Structure 1
């Protein structure tokens, strides 16, 4: 077996045993409120940036407007967010968090922070930083430079 084949086998093992479960692990705090982690992150953006527009969120997250719109439907449907027409341009609508949305965002954020703190306590902040640096570098060098992966990620958002 060549070194490349060995690395591929290891990558597959890591994916099957760890990375597949990572999203479920990350999403757990928001699932209690029938939200995906992506929806929570959008709710958090609206909470931290009152009056933000859908287009602003799409630009910040580097996804399409329709991707944000699909996620936003759930937040609107749950009564966590409302839309308010811009008096200067009636076609534009600002996103506003409701009191229920603010409570949900605060509770999920508290759970995320508690979970992250446990993760750092087990893994260590130095190793955690090394892992995050490695993942950021992998994202920049491999994922962001792969034209096919950007297209796929926008479709999946």
Structure 2
């Protein structure tokens, strides 16, 4: 909080604190984790898709990736399209079901994924050193609680927050529940 006081903050003051923290901390965290991916023309989200593909021996389907990431198939397809364009992944047809396609890393994608894994690990260790383990664990616990409450309010992954078609139909019914986030 910007001011130390024993008095409870008004709702307006809480909103101002939230807005300030969003602009100065959460956006910073997004930028902080995304810096290593930028030199490869990727977002952090696309890198996370690469991580999930790399963990799989035979690749992942779009449906499997969507489930792992907690977003819609169309959200994963957008990330995979970027990875395909950059030649970091390829699609292999399932020999048992020609309709099924598995996403696998290319040789270039494997190199990029390893480089990014090292770079993101280094950035994480810097972050951990800055906060210390106890504060980092507390911060992550608070974010888990926020995520659980967002899911309870009807949001499933960040895609549902950004999907204007779904949100326009939900805004009136969820508006009252958003205060519980």
**What is the TM-score normalised by the length of structure 2?**
0.79
SS at match of 1:63: coil
Cα distance between partner residues in 2 of 1:82 and 1:2 = 53
- For each residue in 1:92-132, what CA deviation from the matched residue of structure 2 results, as whole angstroms up to 9, or x when unmatched? 01111111100000001100000111111111011100000
Cα distance between partner residues in 2 of 1:95 and 1:15 = 35
Greater fraction of residues in helix: 1
Q: Indicate the RMSD between aligned Cα atoms, in angstroms.
A: 1.9
SS at match of 1:101: helix
Contact 1:53 1:93 in 2 (8 A): yes
Return the index of the structure with the highest Cα Rg: 2
- C-alpha distance 131-138 of structure 1, shift in aligned 2 (>3 A): same
In structure 1, what is the equivalent of residue 129 of structure 2? 121
Q: Give unpaired runs (5+ residues) of structure 1.
A: none
1:104 correspondence with 2:112: yes
- C-alpha distance 54-100 of structure 1, shift in aligned 2 (>3 A): same
Corresponding residue to 1:133 among 130, 136, 141: 141
Corresponding residue to 2:27 among 10, 20, 25: 20
**What is the TM-score normalised by the length of structure 1?**
0.90
In structure 1, what is the equivalent of residue 168 of structure 2? none
Cα distance between partner residues in 2 of 1:53 and 1:17 = 37
SS at match of 1:153: helix
Q: Choose between structure 1 and 2 for higher RCO, CA contacts under 8 A separated by at least 6 residues.
A: 1
- C-alpha distance 149-11 of structure 1, shift in aligned 2 (>3 A): farther
Q: CA deviation at 1:48?
A: 0.9
In structure 1, what is the equivalent of residue 84 of structure 2? 76
In structure 2, what is the equivalent of residue 90 of structure 1? 98
Cα distance between partner residues in 1 of 2:10 and 2:26 = 22
Cα distance between partner residues in 2 of 1:87 and 1:74 = 25
Corresponding residue to 1:57 among 65, 89, 101: 65
Contact 2:88 2:107 in 1 (8 A): yes
